[in-house]
Amino acid sequence: MLRLRPRAVILSLFVLLAMAFGGRADHPKRVLLVYESESTLLAAEQIASGFHEYMEANAPEHIEYYTEYLDTLRFSTAEHRARLAGFLEAKYRPLNLDVVVAAGPGALRFVVETRERFARNVPVVFGAVTESSAAAGSLPADVKGVTSRFDLAKTVQLASRLQPQARKLTVMYGSAPFDRRWGDTAFAVLGKRYAGLDVEYVSGLSLDGFRSTAAGLSSDTALVILTVFEDAEGTKFVPRDAAAAITEASNAPVYSVYGSYFGPKVVGGHVGTFQSTGAQMAALSLDIVRGDHSAPQTTPAREAAVVDWGAVQHWGIDDILIPDGAEIVGFEPSAWERYRMPISAALLVMAAQMLTIAALVYQNQRGRRLEATLASERIELAHLSRRSQLGELSGAFAHELTQPLTSILANAEAGQKIASEPAPDMEEIRAIFDDIVADDRRASSVISQLRSMMLKGEASQEVLDLNEAVRQTVALARAEMVARRTEVEVQDEWASVRVKANLVQLQQVILNLLVNAADAMADIPPKQRRVEIAVAKGKNGYCELSVEDMGPGIPAEMRSEVFKPFVSSKGGLGLGLAICRSIVETQGGRLFFDDAVKRGARAVVILPSA
């Protein structure tokens, strides 16, 4: 007989227990998802999407997922279910599953009936199951889930609210066992009249028959499409595809208890989305995986009134009829609704900019009008100043005219005497005529210059010779300078010094500076009274005109005030120099007194060269 030592026996038992319990504790968490439909059904896709999104966001530990699609809606025989049970037993019995998730009433019935073969004593979580299906049989305590109402009554109430003119309700469903059960439920809930609508039930038709019936509905009808897994001809469909085909042909607004049916012409319904149901199923499964079994056996799915905005627009339903709290899907807000605050801010900025621009334009126009007014007033003031200045020199101008007129008279009288002689000297008479012509031209020139300076005119500029302007002005003031016993010396350039200026206004400036220089020397001996006028080409495209006297100069206290209006050392109005500076600056130049001279005053005019 084989004898085992007690210590070896105890050690062996410990190893076996450790392997048994340790292996169970260390295996990864495994979840099996079982769908009653085939894999392309949109409801199954949405449940799977909601389930996995929740798990990825909330399950920190690794979980293995397995998925099976029973397709019992199209293959509903007992033999098919038995084959499925054997297949799942062979596939999953060796695995240690932690949770089995059943999506749909067919999957729930299958798992409850056969789980002992492939998932013995494994908790079950279900979803996408109505309250009546979940309560139809006594569920074991470890079978918990999310119940959906697929509330047909509230969906019809929503239709009655959105279509207050409706008088009739048409309910369509197919010929499969599931479809007929839905029809029985609908009749039990709605009867022949509900929510003020006469209820008509349409079934036992082919898909084309359903489409023709929907196309013949009147506009005062609301259409509810349940499920069409199979039509009267035995053709099987994915319910969403069949509903879409019927909806496309419908002449009346369409409603549904399934959110997966929503599309261009399905107005809405009281629904819970399959995605949110999948998320609720994931939350229950995660609690069980973590060892929390405190959840109630059934949890209602989150449902609400859902309205498709595109369908509301298509059927011309007034959006004011949409109930408060309803979820609106497919709503594309306008640019104003989406960006109200940025657009409002932009509009305010634009309005402020427009007001600023308008104010600037107004200010610019006002400035131009003011500038034009000032220019006009400046021209008027310069004209008045010239007339006043010429009035002061009227005696000199009279003397300037008297000389040629007297000479003309003397020559004319001499000519008369010579002409009365028996043999007149024609050469002498010709010389007399030449003198008369010269004196006449001299008088005419003086009158012409006086007239041009008396006229108001415009401040238009022209290209002129600065030397010639000085010579004409000095000639005009010659008699006045003689009367004041003042010598005027002109130092001009040999070449022409061309500037762009207004001749009359430039002569006014020269004449004013010349008379001011003579006035400044009134108290010194006549032999010392000399005015020097110099013309020179300057640098940087400018020409220079200077008028220098030998007087006492400008007092220090008046140097900063000399060009201001109403400032005078002669007892006058004190506008002459102010007007002269304004004239020169208007023509693009400068007028100033040279502070570097040691005796007298030197006024400098700078003008742009032409």
Highest mean pLDDT range out of 84-88, 129-133, 338-342? 84-88
Q: Is the pLDDT of residue 172 over 90?
A: yes
Greatest pairwise CA separation for the chain in angstroms: 200
Q: What pLDDT was estimated at residue 307?
A: 93
Q: For the domain 27-150+266-332, what is the CATH superfamily, name and number?
A: Response regulator (3.40.50.2300)
Q: Is the pLDDT of residue 288 over 60?
A: yes
Q: What pLDDT was estimated at residue 209?
A: 96
Q: Is the pLDDT of residue 334 over 50?
A: yes
Q: Is the pLDDT of residue 406 over 80?
A: no
Q: Is the pLDDT of residue 137 over 70?
A: no
The span from the CA of 547 to the CA of 314, in Å, is 92
Q: Is the pLDDT of residue 211 over 90?
A: yes
Q: Is the pLDDT of residue 13 over 60?
A: no
Q: Is the pLDDT of residue 252 over 80?
A: yes
Sheet (strand 168-172) strand order: 193-194, 197-202, 168-172, 221-225, 254-255, 266-271, 304-308, 327-329
Question: Which CATH number is associated with domain 156-257?
Answer: 3.40.50.2300
Q: How confident is the model at residue 21 (pLDDT cuts 50, 70, 90)?
A: very low
Q: Rounded to two decimals, what is the model's pTM?
A: 0.49
Instruction: Enter the tokens of residue 193.
Output: 């009249």
Residue by residue, DSSP assigns 54-111 as HHHHH--S-EEEEEEE--TTT---HHHHHHHHHHHHHHHTTS--SEEEEESHHHHHHH
Q: Is the pLDDT of residue 300 over 50?
A: yes
Question: Which CATH number is associated with domain 460-610?
Answer: 3.30.565.10
Report which secondary-structure segment, H or E, holds 291. Answer: none
Q: What is the mean pLDDT of residues 507-534?
A: 90
Instruction: Enter the tokens of residue 605.
Output: 């005019």
Q: Is the pLDDT of residue 495 over 50?
A: yes
Contact (Cβ atoms closer than 8 angstroms) between residue 279 and residue 50: yes
Angle value at C-alpha 348, between 344 and 351, nearest 5 degrees: 135
Low-confidence winner among 107-116, 303-312, 380-389 (lowest mean pLDDT): 380-389
pLDDT tens for 569-607 read 665 556 678 888 888 888 889 999 998 888 899 999 999
Residue by residue, DSSP assigns 559-609 as TTTTTSTT--SSSS-S-HHHHHHHHHHHTT-EEEE-TT-SSS-EEEEEEEB
Q: Considering the chain, what percentage of its residues have pLDDT values greater than 70?
A: 84
Q: How confident is the model at residue 328 (pLDDT cuts 50, 70, 90)?
A: confident
Q: What pLDDT was estimated at residue 18?
A: 42
Q: Considering the chain, what percentage of its residues have pLDDT values greater than 90?
A: 45
Q: What pLDDT was estimated at residue 479?
A: 77
Q: Is the pLDDT of residue 542 over 70?
A: yes
Low-confidence winner among 97-111, 177-191, 230-244, 474-488 (lowest mean pLDDT): 474-488
pLDDT tens for 478-492 read 878 888 899 999 987
